[in-house]
Amino acid sequence: MQSQKIYISELSTSKHIFNNYHFCRGNSNQRKTRIGIIIKGNGTYIYLNKKLTVKEGDIVFIPENIYCYSEWQGNPEIEVIYVSCFMHYEQFLYEPQIINCDKEFKNDLIEIANLLSVDYIKELEAYSLFYKLLQKMLPQMAQSYISFDKTLQTAIEFITNNWNNKFSISDLAKNCCVSESTLYHLFQKELGQTPVNFLNSIKINNAIKYLENSNYSISTISRLVGFNSENHFRKVFRSVTKATPSEFKRKS
């Protein structure tokens, strides 16, 4: 790190609380680097056909240059606090990973989140403390040379922005200027799943929001999230969450 320059901007914090199960599709636009502390629940971050499993108490690092989505299980609650920023650097060679740290590091991360919730004077204090955490964190992090396929990024952005619109895999492939077979191969290689499975995960996550926050019937929710068949919706829902829609609603 001695020959490199690095600084941060737009430091921010967010808290995410869910019940039982949550699929997070990631943020394809204006992604920030995130350092998160898992307060409750267990999760799996999926990226480049790799998986990073985290549990309660872990500190996780997710760099902005890698598209990463995640699945979460809670019993019943899931709670994650993130401190996020844009990291400006000449060369940055890290991938998602768990940070080995002591109790003081965790407390400082929570303190940064609290400071960012007050005012601009406390925000300056948060920046100062965050740089000190980077000093502790970066030297002990594992480095790796990785790249991310731009075609896959285009496909992911198209799916996440159009999941509730009808489109075929052929439409998706044309938008990415590749063949369907190339697209399937790319998803399998980098994400370990098909484009349809990725799309279905997003649909099921939106179905969960309806189950938790509305009194709609299972049939209505199935239609709202784009399934033509209620039976197919139930089958896909179970494959993603390991529960039926009715079972999930009873737990909510």
Tens digits of per-residue pLDDT, 192-236? 789 999 899 889 888 988 888 889 999 999 999 999 999 999 999
* 3-class secondary structure, 5: coil
Residue 154's contacts (CB-CB under 8 Å, 6 or more residues apart) are 175, 176
* Range list for CATH 1.10.10.60 in the chain: 150-251
Q: CB-side exposure of 179: number of CA atoms within 13 Å?
A: 3
Cβ atoms of 230 and 218 within 8 Å: the answer is: yes
pLDDT at 252 over 70: no
Domain covering 6-140: architecture: Sandwich (2.60)
Q: What is the pLDDT of residues 81-109, one digit of tens each?
A: 999 999 887 666 788 999 999 999 999 99
* pTM strictly above 0.75: no
pLDDT at 30 over 80: no
CATH class of 150-251: mainly alpha
Beta strands in 25-124 (DSSP E): 33-40, 42-47, 50-54, 59-62, 69-89, 97-98
* Range list for CATH 2.60.120.280 in the chain: 6-140
Structure tokens at 240: 């993603």
Residue 75's contacts (CB-CB under 8 Å, 6 or more residues apart) are 20, 41
